[in-house]
Amino acid sequence: MKVLVPSALRSYTESSQTEASGATLDEVLMDLDIQYPGIRFRIIDEQQKVRRHIRIFVNGVSAELLSQTMHANDDVVIVQALSGG
């Protein structure tokens, strides 16, 4: 499936878009980590939760659970929240 990567994580992928596979969202993120070591830790914290400044969308809908079922034709968008003042 197609995965869009935010600019803050492109130092791993060297591209704004990549491909990954898996039966669940967690497996997709693990596949990304196999391809780009260290990227999963920037998305998922030590409690196995999506980091608070990251949002993941699957086919345009916010993905809340890492156990979400995935399909080969799904589009995944990883978004990093911006903050500041």
Domain CATH for 64: 3.10.20.30
Exposure of 12 in the CB half-sphere (CA atoms within 13 A): 20
Q: How many CB atoms lie within 10 A of CB 45?
A: 12
What token pair was written down for 31? Answer: 């596949």
Between CA 20 and CA 46 the distance in angstroms is: 22
What token pair was written down for 59? Answer: 């086919």
Q: Which amino acid is at 22?
A: G
81 pLDDT tier (thresholds 50, 70, 90): confident
Residue 33 forms part of a structural domain: yes
Residue 56 forms part of a structural domain: yes
Enter the pTM of the model: 0.91
Q: Which domain holds residue 50?
A: 2-80
Residue 17 forms part of a structural domain: yes
- Mean pLDDT of the region 46-61: 96
Residue 54 forms part of a structural domain: yes
Residue 85 forms part of a structural domain: no
Residue 47 forms part of a structural domain: yes
Position 24 pLDDT exceeds 90: yes
Q: Please tell me the total count of domains within the chain.
A: 1
